[in-house]
Amino acid sequence: MKRTARAFWLRSPGLGDIREVPLPEPAAGDVVVRTLFSGVSRGTESLVFRGGVPESQHRAMRAPFQDGEFPAPVKYGYLNVGLVEEGPGDLVGRTVFCLYPHQTRYVVPAGAVTVVPDSVPAARAVLAGTVETAVNALWDAAPLVGDRIAVIGAGMIGCSVAALLARYPGVRVQLVDADPARASVAAALGVGFALPGDALGGCDLAVHASATEAGLVRSLELLAPEGTVLELSWYGDRRVSLPLGEAFHSGRLVVRGSQVGRVSEARRSRRTFADRLALSLDLLADPVFDALVTGECAFEELPSVLRDIAAGDLPGLCHRVRYERP
């Protein structure tokens, strides 16, 4: 009898459902993984759910194991933690992370999974893809000891960046967000917090992750002369405007893009995608990252939960999806 699994699919923009899907027979070197948890990458998955991926970015935005095409129907997602049930002997019974969509079981090549260290709980490991983005961003930004840094936007990415920056010696880190409730998250991460109007200026680096025009403008305003804004936001099909008059040229300011789809140029000759992901999982041994998980639901609830997240009716940071054993 052919094996099946259940998967979340976006049927059309704004409408998702759970479908039964066939599982391929594993080939030599494949693993069969039973999902324990998956995570919702709020910004990207909300954009996908709303059908907001620009046509010019359809190829660039494909997830590694995506089925279907943008805008829909499409099976999308990339934060998956599961248990290897079949495969090479050194992997059977191990907890692994994989860039796989929301699905109860799946079959992938063994090289597509990364073993989760014993020091990292499976429930926290869903943050690996988010921390990986933060690692790549800091490879791009290359902050120095004693830098003054603002992280604008206290979402999953911004908070992950701030959590890593908190480990840098002598660095002043301030997490900036329009929501005063994010002050408690900043405190848990061990960094300062400010509303946009109260943020400290004179920054050597501003990491922007709010995905708003106002946040990007404020990032420029917070820079010291010759400072840099590292832009992590993904705007999809929205356009943003910047004040490139004022102090932009006289201050010799820099706006630089960063994207996790390629290993940072600063490390590309010496680090692989696998190296970067393994490092991110090692960093997740720190329980401070638990502050980034602010909601959880059962897999069966995912269609309505993703609708609410995309509509802005369910705020928070990482939303974790829990799978019951079929």
CA distance 82 to 96: 6
β-partners of residue 206 are: 150, 229
- C-alpha distance from residue 176 to each of 194, 195, 215, 285, 304 (Å): 5, 6, 9, 25, 30
Mean pLDDT of 57-71: 94
pLDDT at 212 over 80: yes
CA distance 124 to 199: 30
Mean pLDDT of 315-319: 94
For 273-309, what is each residue's pLDDT tens digit?
A: 999 999 999 999 999 999 999 999 999 999 999 999 9
CA distance 97 to 260: 17
CA distance 199 to 223: 11
226 burial type by CB count under 10 A (0-12 exposed, 13-18 middle, 19+ buried) = exposed
CA distance 76 to 83: 20
Closest CA to 15 of 49, 58, 66: 49
For 197-206, what is each residue's pLDDT tens digit?
A: 999 999 999 9
Computed from CA positions of residues 221, 223, 229, 234, in that sequence, does the dihedral angle turn out positive or negative?
negative
Q: Are the beta carbons of 236 and 46 closer than 8 angstroms?
A: no
β-partners of residue 205 are: 149, 228
Instruction: Check residue 323 and give its pLDDT.
Output: 97
Model pTM? 0.92
Closest CA to 326 of 27, 106, 127: 106
Two structure tokens written together for 183: 């002050």
Fold of 4-124+284-322: Quinone Oxidoreductase; Chain A, domain 1 (3.90.180)
Instruction: Check residue 325 and give its pLDDT.
Output: 57
Instruction: Check residue 226 and give its pLDDT.
Output: 97
For 213-254, what is each residue's pLDDT tens digit?
A: 999 999 999 999 999 999 999 887 788 999 898 889 999 999
CA distance 74 to 102: 12
For 244-265, what is each residue's pLDDT tens digit?
A: 988 899 999 999 999 888 999 9
With H, G, I as helix, E, B as strand and everything else as coil, classify residue 135: helix
Which residues of 13-162 form beta strands (DSSP E)?
A: 15-22, 30-40, 67-68, 74-75, 80-86, 95-98, 105-109, 113-115, 148-152
Query: CATH 3.90.180.10 in the chain, residues?
Result: 4-124+284-322
Give the whole-number percent of the chain exceeding pLDDT 90. 90
Instruction: Reply yes or no on domain 130-257 having CATH 3.40.50.720.
Output: yes
DSSP class of 103: B
CA distance 38 to 126: 6
